Amino acid sequence: MTDFSVQDLLEAKDVTGLLQALEEGDSLCREMAARALGKLSDRGAVDGLIVALANKNMDVRVAAAVALGEIGDSRAVGPLVEALNDTTNYQVIKVPLRVPSSNIDARGGAALALGKIGGDAAIEALQAFSESAGETGVYFGLSVAEAVQKALAEMEAGAGEAVDAPSRAGFFARWFGRQK
């Protein structure tokens, strides 16, 4: 396997190299590559990020969804709607806690990405999901249903303006009760 320095690839704005890291790297490398591709907002990364929405690793799927939202290409709406409705229960082990958690969910990332991209198809999918809610999954401190509501509210307020994805630091701070 090739050794990837995602930071070097990001600094060089090497979309091709980042896509290779997204495809061939280990899970952490894939996650970092997806995040870097989102920062570059290069539409040439959309197809690779769409493939990453089906990755077995939840963090990679979340990062791909968030990156697709940052890029804002309407080609991602259909795959993000599929990701929003994917109820596959992936077992996730979070280190350093080493606690299995099957309710950490990438669907919230897909919802927020749909909110960033906007458009009729995104609105319809989010509204349909909202009406059938009752989901218990969590995305960085938000339930999937809350992420859907946030995405809809942001689209209504800003006609598809960017929705800030919650940060890991904020999630862990809320998780451990240090932040409201």
CB atoms within 10 A of CB 71: 23
Q: Tell me, what's the pLDDT at 20? A: 96
Residue by residue, DSSP assigns 40-98 as HT-GGGHHHHHHHTT-SSHHHHHHHHHHHHHHT-GGGHHHHHHHHT-------EETTTT
CB atoms within 10 A of CB 130: 14
Identify the weakest region by mean pLDDT among 22-26, 45-49, 153-157, 163-167. Answer: 163-167
Domains of the chain and any CATH numbers: 6-175 (1.25.10.10)
Peptide bond just before 96 cis, omega within 30 deg:
yes
pTM above 0.75, yes or no: yes
Q: What's CA 97's distance to the chain center, in Å?
A: 22
pLDDT of 98-113, one tens digit each?
444 444 568 888 999 9
pLDDT of 37-58, one tens digit each?
999 999 999 999 999 999 988 8
Q: Tell me, what's the pLDDT at 2? A: 54
Q: What's CA 160's distance to the chain center, in Å?
A: 16
* Cα–Cα distance, 159 to 152 (Å, whole number): 10
